[in-house]
Structures are given as structure tokens and as C-alpha cells.
Amino acid sequence: MASLPIIYIRVRRQRRLKAFAKQLPYALDLIKSSLEAGHTLLRGLQVVVSEFSEPISIEFRSAIEQSRLGLPLPRALEEMLKRVPQDDLRLLVVAVRVQSKSAARSPSYSDACRKLCVPANACSSRSRRSRRNPR
């Protein structure tokens, strides 16, 4: 009985991470579109917060608030990565960190986001095709 709360917390965490992973490609695509439209990365993150539901909106909101309180944006995103260990998010954090150190223009963010964005449907349809037509 004593382990029941721990199991409950683990199950809730796994569900939250799964939901985050499901929303992440679409959020990255929205950030990419925002950057291509000429907005800043911070504005792109704000759009994600306003357009998406939990859990991704809460995590990005937390990173934005940390940035507003004085934490550099790359560091705030690294803190988010500690809470939500996703490989695609890790690539975004690395791209932001490299971009901030090189002080280049924002299209590099857009290129990094473009490479990360693979719609979830494309992956599932690709795997279905490979099961039907093995090579």
C-alpha cells in the first residue's frame, strides 16, 4: 500500500511525457513558421503557449517566465529539457544555444526547426507502408 502513491505519480508522469511528445512536432512546426514570418524566437514560444493545451503550453510558459525573470533563454530551455527529456527538444535547445553563442540571425533557428519537424502522421504512415511492402 505504501508504494501506491509512487506508482500513481510515475503513471501520471509517463502520460504527461507521452502527451508532450505527441504535441512537440506540431509546436516545433509552429515555431518554425513564426520564425519564417520574421518573429523572434521568444515570440514564437509565446505563440506555442497561446495555441496549445497542456502539457506543452505549461512547459513553454515556464521557460518564457524564467527568461523574463533574467535567466537567459538557452538556459531556461535547458531547464525545461531537464523536466521533459525529449530528443527533439534537446536538438532545439542545442540549436538555440549555438545560435546565441554565434550571435547570428534567426534563420538558423528556422532551419533547425525545419529538420526537427516531422508530422506524426508521416512517421506512422511510413511504418505502415513498410509493413505492407517489405523490401
Q: What is the pLDDT of residues 60-96, one digit of tens each?
A: 999 999 999 999 999 999 999 999 999 989 999 999 9
Residues of the chain with pLDDT under 70: 103-135
Alpha carbon distance, N-terminus to C-terminus of the chain: 51
The per-residue pLDDT for 131 is: 40
The per-residue pLDDT for 124 is: 44
The per-residue pLDDT for 100 is: 84
Measured CA to CA in angstroms, residue 80 lies from 32, 114, 126 at distances of 19, 21, 30
Q: What's the CATH code of the domain at 40?
A: 1.20.81
Show the domain range for 124: 4-132
Full-model pTM: 0.72
Domain count along the chain:
1
**Coil vs helix vs strand at 3:** coil
